[in-house]
Each structure stands twice: as C-alpha cells, then as structure tokens.
Amino acid sequence: MTAEPLRFRILFVDDEVPILNAMKRLMRQQDYHCWFASSAADGIAVLEQHNIDLVISDMRMPVTDGASFLAEVRSRWPFSVRFLMTGYSDMNATLDALNLGGINRYISKPWDDAALLDAIAEGLRIRRLEREKKRLLDRSREQNRELESLNQDLEERVARRTLQVEATSAQLKKAFRQLENSYDAFVRIFSSVIASRPHLIRGHSREVADLASQIAQGLALDQVQVRYIYYAALLHELGKLNLPDDILSRSEVHLTHRDQEQYQRYPLLGEMALLPIKALRSSAQLIRHHNEHYDGSGYPDGLKGQHIPLGSRIIKVSRDFVGLQTDLLRKTPLAAENAFQHLLVQSAGRYDPQVLDALQPLVADFSFTRMQHHECQVTLADLQSGMVLTRDLVSASGILLMVKDSPLSAGMIRRLQLIDGVDNSRMKAYVDNTPDKEEDGKPPPDLTNRKKHS
C-alpha cells in the first residue's frame, strides 16, 4: 500500500465565524490539511487528535485569549510554529504572546491574502527543516549501523560509506545554521513591524543597524557583541510605539519642552519591552543608553564617557549620522559628508571620538540609494532564479519581505511579483552582479541587460 504524501497541517483559531469562513475560502486551493476552531478549547481538542505543524490564532477571544492559548500550545507542542493574528495595536498583549507563546510571526488584521500565504510558507519552512533534520539523523544512524556490520576487509566500501556520513554531517550543520538564522530573521521582521508605524520608517533602523554593525567590526569587537549591537540598533525605536503621532511627526529639534519630556522616555520604554526576552537583554541595555552623550548631557541616566556602554555609543553615532540625512534631526537633511562634519563639530560633547574615527572610512561609500560596485538595481519583473539580494527587500508599507544575502528561487520570485502586483508599488531589488561559478552545468544569471536598465 502506497503511503499518502505527507502534507503540512494547519490549525486556524478565531471566535469570529466570518473570519474562519474567509480562511476556509483562502485555503481551499492550497495543498495543506486545515482545521478550523472557534475557541481555544476547540483548538486544544484538535491538537490532541492531530499532529499540527502551524497554529494561527486570533489575539482577542473570550475565555482564553490568544496569548494564553499559544502559551499552552508552546508548552504541550513545542515544535509547532505559532502565528498571532489581531486587529488591535496592543503592545503589552503582543509582548505577552511573544514571551509566553513564543510566536514566530505577528500578522495584522485585515490581512493581505498573498502576504498571509507567503507568511505561512515561510513559517512552515521551519517545520520542513525540522523534518529534514530528523530524516538526516535517521539516515545517519542507519548508515552507521551499516558501517558497523560491514566486514573489515571491505576497506573500499567502508571508505565510500564514510564519505556519505561526512556529507550527511555537512547537511545537518547547514540545517542547524538555518534554524539559528530563523531567530535573526524574526528580529528583522519585528523591526519591520515597528517601522510600519507612521513616522517611524523615516528613522531608517535597518540603515542604522547596518552602519552600527560595520563600525563595531571596525573596532574589532567579537561576533557576539556585534550581533547584540545590530539587534539593538534594529529595535532602538521600539519605545516610540507608545508615543503619539503628533510628537513623532516632528523633528527632534522642533519638539517643545513638554514634548521632550515625553519623547525622552522612549529608550526606557524600549528597554522595558525587551527585558522579558532573555536573548535580547544585552540589546535592551544598549537601547536604554543610546541617547546618552559623551559629556554626560544625554538621557535617560546622564552617563558620561566610558560609563556609557560602547554599543550604545556606536548606535548614538550611527543614529545621528543617519538622522542628519533624514528629517529626524533636521528640517533640511544633510548630505553624508556634511552630516559627518556636523558630528565632528559636536565631537567634544556628544560623541565618542574613537567611534567617530571608526565611522570616517565609511562615510564616502554611505548612501541610502547609491549602488555599490558589486550590485545592481532591478525590477521584480527582471528577477531570475539564482540571484542573491544585497539589501533587505522592503515593501512600500515598510514590511520586510526578504533579508539580504537571500538567494532567490523561482517560487519566491513569483510570490514577490504577486505581492508587487497587489500593492501596485513597482518595487525594486538590489542584487549581486558578480557572476558565480557555473553550478550543475547551468550558467549564472545574466545581469548585463539589468545593469543597463538600472
């Protein structure tokens, strides 16, 4: 008897019948096994009877809300992927679900069908990796048993089997790296959710984070420190989610004294939001102090000189350098070189001279739009399978769609083009224009025409 092909199982939980019906219509044409529950209790009943790969739960439900439900799912079925869907901008509730339920993604209502399907496919990629890891482990054990049973005289056969085991080990390491990278991707996605708030996208958190990472590497910090600084820079505006639009819509120099008192609380709010997440506590401390001044005149604690964490000093320089080139700090933005000269004028007070020295070699090549020698800009219609992104791909609304260094597959290109068509935004992507060596007899993507068009 031929076994039925293994398909992913998805559970949707929402107390609103129209929402569940909409989900049923959306998933009808998809190659998934789907269950639909109108309460947390019904969802638990489904999970007890079936091995569910992905759980998508509404936040606001009677009796048991989404945060509590996902927390129980995490406790009893830890290998499930968990999404939170809500139409409420409740930061505390979202953080509860993030910490207690260990959600992998936050989806806002109303949702875009294509984006939701892409999110589901990306979430199931984690489960696919876990299945692949188990399959590779089983295969490795089987091969080891075969090796133990082989006759010692069959040296040539043993050698071949050993090579197979080594190849399997390399695949396992790759699978583990991909699982670790999923956490990095989550932080970037969380950053894009923050940037989707009006008036925050201009803060250019991704540019601040990339620049801070380069400065940290220039100062020879170790990889762990660089990662904490990168995460803190990505999320340094988190506390601004609690500020009114009236304050965020103005440059810092145009805030009143009363506005300043409220505005200067955002580093503390950002730190408090991240403290419950153990892996981000080091980054939370950097966020708290990223507006301290080297002369002690900053906020919130008035730290001075070397008492300010080095990561915070790096983020301060990166944030202000980027902010001077946007309308965050000035009504009229400056060019990169002029922005750096402005920092130098203030260097005796606000900024660590050592960090400014590390920034200087990066100024000439810094630009929000200038292409580097190894990249070119193409429309989504010109993307080809095998191309590699050199920058994060972000939608017109500020949502992170793909992270840089991601290779593009034919399926992913089709989904991106579908999203672009729905948004009618005509997005453009930056891709590596350095041809790789031919693999499997296939030539690398031809970027010649793309370079001319860009």
What digits encode the pLDDT tens for the residues 256-303?
888 888 989 999 999 998 898 888 899 999 999 999 999 999 999 999
- By C-alpha distance, which of 122, 128, 136, 227 is closest to 173? 136
Residue type, 346: Q
Give the Å distances, CA to CA, from 25 to 12, 29, 86: 13, 8, 19
149 has a pLDDT exceeding 80: no
Token code pair at residue 399: 């949502």
How many CB atoms lie under 10 A from the CB of residue 331?
9
Q: 1: pLDDT confidence band, cut at 50, 70 and 90?
A: very low
Angstrom distance (rounded) from CA 222 to CA 338 = 31
Identify whether the C-beta of residue 387 lies closer than 8 Å to the C-beta of residue 410: no
Domain residues of the chain, as ranges? 9-118, 187-363, 375-453
441 has a pLDDT exceeding 50: no
In degrees and rounded to multiples of 5, residue 381 shows phi and psi of -70, -25
CATH code at 187-363: 1.10.3210.10
Instruction: Please give the pLDDT value at position 450.
Output: 45
3 has a pLDDT exceeding 60: no
Angstrom distance (rounded) from CA 331 to CA 323 = 11
225: part of which helix (H) or strand (E)? helix 223-234
pLDDT average, residue stretch 163-172: 70
Identify whether the C-beta of residue 15 lies closer than 8 Å to the C-beta of residue 58: yes
**What is the maximum alpha-carbon separation in the chain?**
85
pLDDT average, residue stretch 247-257: 81
How many CB atoms lie under 10 A from the CB of residue 171?
16
82: β partners: 55
Domains 9-118 and 187-363 share a fold: no
**Helix ranges (DSSP H) in 289-346:** 310-323, 336-345
Query: Which tens digits make up the pLDDT trace of 337-389?
Result: 999 999 988 766 899 999 999 999 999 888 765 566 677 888 888 888 889 88
Angstrom distance (rounded) from CA 199 to CA 212 = 22
- By C-alpha distance, which of 6, 14, 7, 177 is closest to 83? 14
Give the Å distances, CA to CA, from 177 to 133, 180, 222, 277: 11, 5, 19, 21
Give the global pTM: 0.51
E-state strands within 59-178: 81-86, 105-108
Query: Which tens digits make up the pLDDT trace of 304-319?
Result: 999 999 999 999 999 9
Give the Å distances, CA to CA, from 106 to 56, 178, 200, 391, 429: 10, 20, 18, 23, 24
Q: 448: pLDDT confidence band, cut at 50, 70 and 90?
A: very low
Q: Which of 115-129, 407-421, 427-441 has the lowest mean pLDDT?
A: 427-441
Instruction: Please give the pLDDT value at position 57.
Output: 92
CATH homologous superfamily of domain 9-118? Response regulator (3.40.50.2300)
> Average per-residue pLDDT in the chain?
81
- By C-alpha distance, which of 310, 276, 277, 272 is closest to 288? 272
Angstrom distance (rounded) from CA 219 to CA 357 = 10
Instruction: Please give the pLDDT value at position 317.
Output: 95
